[in-house]
C-alpha cells in the first residue's frame, strides 16, 4: 500500500467507535463530527483499503463482516499508538523532573546542600543527582553531556561553556596553631608566601588554579604535599605539615575551633568567583534555571575581614552558608 493510501488514525478511531456504538451516528457523536462527515470519512477509508466496511440501508448503517475484522485490527493499532503517546508524555515529563549536577569539592561540600534543600522545597517532584569532582573535571562532565550544569571555582572556564557567577569566595592562608606564621606580629608579605613551600590541592582543582594564577610568573618551590581534597589538605596542615591556601568556606569550622589559624597576607587578592557552567550550544532546561535562580538568591559574598592585625587573623572569618555534608542522591528506579 502506498503512503498516499494509508488510512489516517482519526478514520480508524471513527471505525472503532462505530463498531462500539453500533451505528454511524453514535461514532460521529463520539468523534465530534456530523453524521454525513463521518459517512464520507468511512467511504474514503473503504477506497483506501479496497473492501466494504458498511452495509448502508434506509434504516441505518452497520459494519460488514470485513468491517468488524478491520475495526478489531484498528483497535489494536490505536492501543499501541496510545501507549506510544503516553510513553512520550512520560519522557517529556521525566526530562523536567530530573536534574544532573556536577560541582567542585568546595561548592559541593559547603553551598550545594543549602541550594538543593531550597530547590526541593519549591519543586518536590524534582530528582537531583550530584557528582563531585574538581573544577576541571566538572567542565569535562558538562561538555560531554553527562550532567546538565556544573559549578566551578577559579578563573579558568572553557570557551565552549556559558557561565554565570553565582557566589563569591575568598581563599585563606591557614597554618596550625604552633606554626611560626601563627605567631607573627606582622602581616605576611606576598613575596614571602610565594617563596614558601605549601600543602596544595591537585592540578585541575579550582583552588589550585586560583593559587597558580595569583603566583603566576614567579619562581616557586615545589609543593610540600599535593593532595586530592580539601579534607586531606586540612588534615595535613593541622598535623603540622605546613601552610596551605584554602577556601574560607572549607576551613571556617577549624578556624572557629582553633585547629587552624588564618594568616593575613599583604598584596594578595584572594577573592574569587564561583560560577555555574553549561554548554553554549544548549539552552538550559527549566530545572537548571530553577537551580541557578536558587543559587543566585542565596548568593553571599565572602570578603576578607576588616581587621588585619595578627589577632584578627587568628580568629579567622565566619561564613554565612550551611555546611551540611553532601552525598550523591540515589537514582529512583522505575
Quote the pTM value: 0.59
Q: Identify whether the C-beta of residue 54 lies closer than 8 Å to the C-beta of residue 64.
A: yes
CATH number of the domain residue 38 falls in = 1.10.10.10
Ranges of beta strands (E only) in the chain are: 54-57, 60-63, 98-103, 127-132, 149-153, 161-175, 188-189, 199-201, 225-227, 244-247, 261-263, 265-266, 271-279
Q: Identify whether the C-beta of residue 242 lies closer than 8 Å to the C-beta of residue 222.
A: no
Sign of CA dihedral 73, 76, 80, 86: positive
Looking at the fold, whether 90 and 191 belong to one and the same domain comes out as no
What's the confidence (pLDDT) of residue 4? 46
What's the confidence (pLDDT) of residue 256? 93
CA 251, CA 231: separation in Å to the nearest integer? 9
Looking at the fold, whether 112 and 184 belong to one and the same domain comes out as yes
What's the confidence (pLDDT) of residue 150? 95
Q: Residue 14 domain-assigned?
A: yes
Q: Identify whether the C-beta of residue 136 lies closer than 8 Å to the C-beta of residue 269.
A: no
Hey, what's the cell of 88?
512520550
Q: Residue 322 domain-assigned?
A: no
What's the confidence (pLDDT) of residue 297? 87
Q: Residue 85 domain-assigned?
A: yes
What's the confidence (pLDDT) of residue 276? 95
What's the confidence (pLDDT) of residue 312? 38
What's the confidence (pLDDT) of residue 311? 34
Looking at the fold, whether 49 and 196 belong to one and the same domain comes out as no
Looking at the fold, whether 105 and 61 belong to one and the same domain comes out as no
Length of the chain as a residue count: 334
The number of distinct structural domains making up the chain is: 2
Domain boundary among 36, 69, 95: 95
SS3 57: strand
Hey, what's the cell of 246?
584554602
Hey, what's the cell of 116?
538543593
Range of the domain at 41: 3-95
Q: Residue 202 domain-assigned?
A: yes
Cα–Cα distances in angstroms (integers) from residue 231 to residues 17, 106, 168, 235, 270, in the given order: 68, 10, 21, 6, 20
Per-10-residue mean pLDDT for the chain, 334 residues long? Answer: 68 89 86 89 91 83 87 88 67 67 91 91 88 92 93 87 91 92 86 87 85 76 88 92 90 92 85 91 89 83 36 34 33 37
Element (H, E) at 105: helix 105-110
- CA-nearest of 269, 270, 276 to 157 is 276
Q: Residue 128 domain-assigned?
A: yes
Domain boundary among 79, 95, 111: 95
Domain boundary among 95, 125, 154: 95
Amino acid at each position: 500500500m502506498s503512503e498516499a493510501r494509508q488510512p489516517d488514525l482519526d478514520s480508524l478511531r471513527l471505525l472503532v467507535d462505530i463498531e462500539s456504538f453500533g451505528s454511524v451516528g453514535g461514532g460521529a457523536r463520539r468523534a465530534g463530527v456530523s453524521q454525513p462527515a463521518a459517512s464520507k470519512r468511512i467511504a474514503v477509508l473503504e477506497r483506501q483499503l479496497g473492501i466494504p466496511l458498511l452495509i448502508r440501508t434506509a434504516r441505518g448503517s452497520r459494519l460488514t463482516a470485513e468491517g468488524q475484522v478491520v475495526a478489531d485490527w484498528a483497535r489494536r493499532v490505536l492501543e499501541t499508538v496510545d501507549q506510544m503517546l503516553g510513553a512520550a508524555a512520560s519522557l517529556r515529563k521525566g526530562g523536567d523532573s530530573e536534574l544532573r549536577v556536577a560541582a567542585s569539592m568546595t561548592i559541593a561540600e559547603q553551598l550545594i546542600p543549602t541550594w538543593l534543600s531550597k530547590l526541593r522545597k519549591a519543586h518536590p517532584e524534582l530528582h537531583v543527582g550530584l557528582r563531585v569532582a574538581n573544577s576541571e573535571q566538572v567542565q569535562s562532565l558538562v561538555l560531554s553531556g553527562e550532567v546538565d550544569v556544573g559549578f566551578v571555582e577559579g578563573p579558568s572556564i572553557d570557551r565552549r561553556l556559558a557561565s554565570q557567577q553565582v557566589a563569591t569566595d575568598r581563599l585563606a592562608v591557614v597554618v596550625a596553631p604552633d606554626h611560626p606564621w601563627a605567631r607573627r606580629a606582622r602581616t605576611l608579605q606576598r613575596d614571602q608566601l610565594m617563596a614558601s613551600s605549601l600543602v596544595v590541592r591537585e592540578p585541575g582543582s579550582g583552588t589550585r588554579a586560583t593559587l597558580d594564577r595569583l603566583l603566576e610568573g614567579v619562581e616557586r618551590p615545589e609543593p610540600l604535599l599535593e593532595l586530592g581534597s580539601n579534607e586531606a589538605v586540612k588534615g595535613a596542615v593541622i598535623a603540622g605539615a605546613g601552610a596551605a591556601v584554602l577556601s574560607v568556606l572549607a576551613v571556617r569550622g577549624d578556624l572557629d575551633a582553633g585547629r587552624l589559624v588564618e594568616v593575613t597576607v599583604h598584596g594578595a587578592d584572594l577573592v574569587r568567583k564561583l560560577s555555574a557552567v553549561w554548554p553554549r550550544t544548549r539552552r538550559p532546561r527549566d530545572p537548571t534555571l530553577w537551580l541557578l535562580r536558587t543559587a543566585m538568591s542565596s548568593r553571599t559574598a565572602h570578603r576578607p575581614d576588616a581587621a588585619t592585625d595578627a589577632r584578627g587573623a587568628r580568629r579567622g572569618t565566619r561564613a554565612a552558608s550551611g555546611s551540611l555534608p553532601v552525598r550523591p542522591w540515589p537514582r529512583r528506579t522505575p
